[in-house]
Amino acid sequence: MAEAPAVFIGILVLCCWIAVANAEYKIYQDPKQPISKRVKDLLGRMTLEEKIGQMTQIDRLVASEEVMKKYYIGSMLSAGGSGPPPTASPQTWIDMVNGYQKGSLSTRLKIPMLFGIDAVHGNSAVYRATIFPHNVGLGATRDPELVKRIGAATALEVRATGIPYAFAPCIAVCRDPRWGRCYESYSEDPKIVRAMTEIIPGLQGDIPANSRKGVPFLAGQQKVLATAKHYVGDGGTTKGINENNTVASRHDLLRIHMPAYYDSIIKGVGTIMISYSSWNGVKMHANRDLITGFLKNTLRFRGFVISDWQGLDRITSPPHANYTYSIIAGVGAGIDMIMVPYNYTEFIDGLTSLVKNNFIPMSRIDDAVKRILRVKFTIGLFEHPLADYSMTKYLGSQEHRELAREAVRKSLVLLKNGESANKPLIPLPKKASKILVAGTHADNIGNQCGGWTIQLQGQPGNVTVGTTILTAIRNTVHPETKIVFNENPHPGYVKSNEFSYAIIVVGEPPYSLTFGDNTNLTIPDPGPSIITNVCASVKCVVVLITGRPVVIQPYLAQIDALVAAWLPGTEGQGVADVLFGDYGFTGTLPRTWFKTVDQLPMNVGDQHYDPLFPFGYGLITEPVRGN
């Protein structure tokens, strides 16, 4: 008899305990729960407003703690140059990112926002970061393992600024160098681009062998989420016009532009960005067959699909002509996160109304939000929403600069070396009485880095910390060798001085995106006249700093040695390492070098193939001791 009240009290206590625990315990907040359960639990708690907020990515320029909180914004970005002042410290970046994050963490469900940045050749918008060669140069190395290490270094430098998400790599297969983004492509050959997807395990970490195909992956808080872009056919547009139309059979699309996506998905890439371009006249941002049908259903990609910057607006021409239509077409095609990036209220109101009026089914919204939440849980964002300063030491570290220098050395392609193999000019003697260094790109970090460096378009001059090629030459020659730098020397000056030899560094100015589209591919003035003026009276090496092959045939006979250095980044020492023979030349062309632009497009394997230097060309030299 005395036991009954005890049992009763016991049950009562248990009930109370469960009630209290229920108030506090939420499956989605428990890191021990499987991700699928956490996603399901959280999605079940969300209102339409909260779901649509998750799908919205805004630029830093319009963000504030208040905005993050009020609109439940799921993601934000710092687009080329939209950040703290150009020379801001990593601590300033972290404070900025954490500030916005506090807005997100103060919402009802405390879903952290995901911050992304265009870390396309290192954490390239940030002052003092290590700037690695642009992808075309990495293609010349033919060294996927090196590219993987660059991915790992980039991840550390991105985390150094409190950011967990990089809009990289670009796995475009550029088929026409007139395209302004051609340097973002590793090669015209899909096999090389496929191999270079090793940057993904560099950025995100190695996916375990037993992982399910297509499931996003991140190895920990020293890694960053990657983006394979731009899906699909971005490098195949007519005449290389940026964002234009890729005319190709389905067979050619799958053969040339698609294969690197298979590799990226197998390697666990978390996100895929859609291309502005069209395929046979259909905007990729509206291509349901290729996004939902092929990418999500056939390839079983389980990460999220993100639009490009104002990608929905550009579905119509002119852009933003009918935003309602754009939202239906883009979200309907299967895009999960929308890089809006400014007028978020227009997007949020538009999408909300379309869902409420059944133009877009709730199942589409749930698919998008599930994918976004899956990625956020995968990368540990709920457990680690705020960055601390412990990783700032990685930004521009000596170790990373050494790695970039190695990449520069391996990216250089020697196209000509003296009149014949038994009269080589390279390796250049370190000991000489007087060497002339000339050219617009010899002492210019900004030119050497190219576009996507600090600013979106890049910028000539002292934009960040690094070693110019001139400084590298000075560091390398014998102490008694006199180096004379004259950017654009007068022909008489060259003639009247007795230079042992000359090193000319010329090329393209920095550019990115459509601003880089170019139909003549000539080296801008005064590059050509510097070559002709100097090479007329002294033995000369020409080092080209360009994002692509350029018109060089008219000057080739005058040039004694020719090096394609692409866009090497901050570590110019790598150029001198190889010119003076401390290391040999090993790079080979990742692209076909045309004779004249009217041959374009011309790619390896074409029936009519008459290049100046074929794809894969490159003279190999041995290192020399005691030079």
Ligand X SMILES: *[C@@H]1O[C@H](CO)[C@@H](O)[C@H](O)[C@H]1NC(C)=O
Residues of this chain that interact with ligand X (CB under 6 A) are 241, 243-245, 278, 322, 324-325, 328, 343, 346, 444, 461-462, 518, 520, 522
State the minimum distance, in angstroms, from the CB of residue 444 to ligand X. 5
| Residue 556 near residue 416, CB atoms below 8 Å | yes
Cβ partners under 8 Å of residue 547, min gap 6: 134, 136, 182, 183, 450, 451, 508, 511, 516, 566, 567
State the minimum distance, in angstroms, from the CB of residue 273 to ligand X. 18
Q: Is 132 left (phi over 0), alpha (psi -120 to 50) or beta?
A: beta
d(CA 164, CA 158): 7
| Residue 174 near residue 592, CB atoms below 8 Å | no
Tell me: cis bond preceding 86? Omega within 30 of 0 counts. Answer: no
State the minimum distance, in angstroms, from the CB of residue 460 to ligand X. 7
177 forms beta bridges with none
Please give the distance of CA 576 from its chain centroid, rounded to a whole number: 26
Tokens representing residue 335 in the block? 């895009």
State the minimum distance, in angstroms, from the CB of residue 534 to ligand X. 20
Q: Which is nearer to ligand X, 130 or 464 (CB)?
A: 464
State the minimum distance, in angstroms, from the CB of residue 340 to ligand X. 10
Q: Which is nearer to ligand X, 242 or 378 (CB)?
A: 242
Q: Which is nearer to ligand X, 121 or 314 (CB)?
A: 314
Tokens representing residue 51 in the block? 């779901």
Which residue type is seen at 470? L
Tell me: cis bond preceding 230? Omega within 30 of 0 counts. Answer: yes
Q: Which of 559, 568, 549 is nearest to 449 (CA)?
A: 568
d(CA 206, CA 212): 13
Residue 625's CB: how many other CB atoms inside 10 A? 7
Q: Which is nearer to ligand X, 328 or 575 (CB)?
A: 328
Cβ partners under 8 Å of residue 10, min gap 6: none
Q: Which of 546, 590, 565 is nearest to 190 (CA)?
A: 590
Q: Which is nearer to ligand X, 319 or 492 (CB)?
A: 319
Q: Which is nearer to ligand X, 259 or 332 (CB)?
A: 332
State the minimum distance, in angstroms, from the CB of residue 581 to ligand X. 27
561 forms beta bridges with 417, 541
Q: Which is nearer to ligand X, 169 or 458 (CB)?
A: 458
Residue 602's CB: how many other CB atoms inside 10 A? 22
Q: Which is nearer to ligand X, 173 or 284 (CB)?
A: 284
Q: Which is nearer to ligand X, 390 or 462 (CB)?
A: 462
Q: Which is nearer to ligand X, 201 or 446 (CB)?
A: 446
State the minimum distance, in angstroms, from the CB of residue 53 to ligand X. 17
Q: Which is nearer to ligand X, 89 or 522 (CB)?
A: 522
State the minimum distance, in angstroms, from the CB of residue 349 to ligand X. 7
Helical spans, DSSP H, in 557-615: 573-579
State the minimum distance, in angstroms, from the CB of residue 322 to ligand X. 4
Q: Which residue has the tokens 């407003």?
A: 49
State the minimum distance, in angstroms, from the CB of residue 266 to ligand X. 31
State the minimum distance, in angstroms, from the CB of residue 15 to ligand X. 52
Q: Which is nearer to ligand X, 178 or 370 (CB)?
A: 178
Q: For the chain, how far is it from start to end, CA to CA, in angstroms?
A: 102
Q: Which is nearer to ligand X, 42 or 530 (CB)?
A: 530
Residues listed for the chain: 627
Residue 315's CB: how many other CB atoms inside 10 A? 26
Q: Which of 186, 181, 280 is nearest to 238 (CA)?
A: 280
Distances (CA, A) of 336 to 255, 304, 510, 514, 583: 26, 6, 33, 26, 47
Tokens representing residue 389 in the block? 């300063």
State the minimum distance, in angstroms, from the CB of residue 328 to ligand X. 6
Q: Which is nearer to ligand X, 5 or 318 (CB)?
A: 318
Tokens representing residue 455 in the block? 């600013």
Starting from the edge strand earliest in sequence, which strands make up the sheet with 338-339, in order? 165-166, 114-117, 75-78, 56-59, 338-339
Q: Which is nearer to ligand X, 43 or 465 (CB)?
A: 465
Residue 488's CB: how many other CB atoms inside 10 A? 15
d(CA 77, CA 161): 13
Upper half-sphere CA count for residue 335 (Cβ side, 13 Å): 32
Q: Which of 125, 178, 135 is nearest to 455 (CA)?
A: 125
β strands within 3-64, DSSP E: 56-59
Distances (CA, A) of 168 to 235, 296, 447: 15, 20, 22
State the minimum distance, in angstroms, from the CB of residue 39 to ligand X. 31
Residue 210's CB: how many other CB atoms inside 10 A? 5
Q: Which is nearer to ligand X, 297 or 324 (CB)?
A: 324
